[in-house]
Amino acid sequence: MSLYAASSTSSPTIPWLQWMRSGEWQRGGRASIPMLPALAQEIMEIALDPDVPANRIAMVVSKDPVLAGRVLQVANSAASAAQNEITSIQESVVRIGVTSVRNIVTAACLSSMMTDRRVYGDHGRDLVDHSIGTAYLARLVADQAGENSDEAFVYGLMHDVGKFVILKLANSRTDGVAPPPPEELARFLASEHGQFGGYFLRQSELSDIFYDPVVWHHEPEQAGDRPVSAAVAYVANRLAHRYGFGCSKVEEELLEDPYFIQFRIDGKVLDRIDQRAPGLFEVARKIVG
Ligand SMILES: [Fe+2]
Ligand SMILES: [Fe+2]
């Protein structure tokens, strides 16, 4: 029997890039892309409601013991040492505030779905660190820019979610598709993660308000509907790279950047952000656990 006869019984192998560009990967359906758990979706929704009552948050958090544990841990480390230990979610909400609890929970949801090493490799943890750090920075930038800081936290958190989608597609073997060479995957990640983030948002049925800041966080000038939010995401991401949140530190002149100028981030404001950054990242690390 010839080699050709043997191979003709199995389907021919196509290169990964070709498979990705063809859109064939979408046929795998929901199994092949990461999905937000129902609980995360519920949390994202309440995260945007400024009037959400404390007991509603406490109820949602209490549904998930891992999540509840994270909230207690972060609440205890944030509360003054002189005070008694916090032992309930209700108390956490009272002690550290609704916004802080919401932020912890939203970030913990993302981290719990994205840290699977079999799927995301060693980069998953760094990416989660980077995402949570960027989320906290996006709040600061949004305040500076006069944008909604709760929304900014969520799109800061999701800005690189497209990388998770691509990594999952690259690491789950598909019959007839050759795995991508590392350099090819790196290039694809760099150039396409914004668009794949948009795909993720649509699949997750998250509010449209996150679409532009996620898809255009590297090119805010392309954002059609929410250019200011996209610019907030861009600035927060650049700051995350300045501080090395989940990535290596990039030393660049930021004050000349037109978006930093647009938000009046001058030397003084940047100094203030520099001082707050390590504390923000400490919270981020605790959330990841
Ligand atoms: Fe990015
Ligand atoms: Fe990023």
| Predicted pLDDT of residue 107 | 82
Here the tokens at position 82 are 């002189």
CA 226 to centroid of ligand 2, rounded, Å: 18
Here the tokens at position 190 are 């760099």
Closest CA to 110 of 171, 157, 149, 163: 157
| Ligand number with the minimum distance to the CA of 130 | 2
Rounded Cα distance between 118 and 288, Å, is: 17
Residues found in the chain: 289
- Find the largest Cα–Cα distance for the chain: 80
Here the tokens at position 236 are 């927060």
Q: Mind listing the pLDDT tens digit of every residue in the chain (289 residues)?
A: 444 444 445 567 889 999 888 888 887 655 566 666 677 777 777 767 777 777 787 888 777 777 788 788 888 877 665 567 888 888 887 788 877 887 887 787 777 777 677 777 777 888 888 999 999 999 999 999 999 998 899 899 999 999 988 988 888 778 888 889 999 999 999 999 999 999 988 887 778 899 999 999 999 999 999 999 999 999 999 999 999 998 899 988 999 999 999 999 999 999 999 999 988 888 877 777 6
| Ligand number with the minimum distance to the CA of 127 | 2
**Domain chopping of the chain, boundaries:** 32-288
| Predicted pLDDT of residue 134 | 95
CA 57 to centroid of ligand 1, rounded, Å: 30
Q: Are 224 and 208 in contact (CB under 8 A)?
A: no
In CATH, which of 2.70.98.40, 1.10.287.110, 3.20.20.70, 1.10.3210.10 is domain 32-288?
A: 1.10.3210.10
CA 101 to centroid of ligand 2, rounded, Å: 23
Here the tokens at position 201 are 């948002």
| Predicted pLDDT of residue 76 | 83
Phi-psi category of residue 53: left, alpha or beta, with phi > 0 → left and psi -120 to 50 → alpha = beta
Count CB-CB contacts under 10 A for residue 69.
13
CA 169 to centroid of ligand 1, rounded, Å: 18
